[in-house]
Amino acid sequence: MSDDLTPTYTEKGKPFERDMDYIGDRVLAGERSSDPHDAEYGGRDDVQVWPVQPGRYRLVAAPACPWANRSIIVRELLGLTEVISLGKPGPTHDKRSWTFDRDPGGRDPVLGIERLQEAYLNRFPDYPKGITVPAIVDVETKQVVTNDFPWITHDLFFEWREHHRPDAPDLWPEDLREEMEQVMKRVFTEVNNGVYRCGFAGSQEAYDAAYDRLWAAMDWLEERLTDRRYLMGEAITEADVRLFTTLVRFDPVYHGHFKCNRNKLTEMPALWGYARDLFQTPGFGETVDFEQIKAHYYVVHSDINPSGIIPKGPELESWRTAHGRERL
């Protein structure tokens, strides 16, 4: 067994394919999902149900990671900060795990662990897959509950409703559900995952195909957002949360590091205004840590950036400039 703990992300000659096989357990308010459209869960034997219980769980979510960032945003938007605590691993890690190296003593102050891997191994001693964020961890047993990131934010909305703040946004509006699911699917496959398909491509052909798919989707989004404030119309939904975490990383990371460089986000008027609009909305911008974002990608992805040098740019102050989207 190799002692090399340097992670690798590209496989020579092959396109990047994301492994979506996560721990599928759910934290539910009852025995079944509270979402009437949730055909995914029907009391399956391979899914354990954990009860909604304030104070029982810790959301472990690294600010550097876009998949984790979305769960941090949803927790803020719904007012669950006093109900589910938040642990923040640092931005860099090796093959073994995300670590709490920025916490006092290098340990999570609630779970007392140095590596998120410990929570996984506490439950699955022979856990064979990657240690990912976000993860829900049971505080008492220090065992991972789930790392299935699309369902984590879904269930924060549908299952924890009794604990939402009174003016929490409706992130999953019933009248827009069918269209929103289609929009979110395209955003995930072509944009959220599309930038990784470019960055982790193992051949020129794989990169070229990924690049073309990404920019077809970006042009579609630019057109869609030209005459509507948010993806689904006049109000923020889960679809906006999912798109935002990619857009906020686009110019600092994906444009150069992942070679998504047809143009910058700042050169797309609708998308750039939309991204600033969300950034300046409570619950979004304060969850973004550009220093950690850049440290993660440029240091951890050593097969893409072997020097480990973190670029100083781009300029980021313009994220706080007027966006003018209120008039749409």
Residues known to be catalytic: 65, 196
Q: 139 with 58: CB under 8 angstroms?
A: yes
Q: Can you read off the two tokens belonging to residue 151?
A: 């369902």
Cis previous bond, 134, omega within 30: yes
For residue 60, what is the enclosing H or E element?
A: strand 57-60
Cα dihedral 40→44→50→52 (10° resolution): 40
Q: Please name every residue paired with 57 in a beta bridge, in sequence order, or none if there are none.
A: 138
Report H helices in the chain: 66-78, 117-123, 149-158, 177-186, 194-199, 204-224, 238-247, 269-279, 290-295
Q: Can you read off the two tokens belonging to residue 26?
A: 């759910």
DSSP line for 146-196: E--HHHHHHHHHHTSGGGS-TT---SS-GGGHHHHHHHHHHIIIIIITHHH
Q: Any idea which residue has 């097969």 for tokens? A: 303
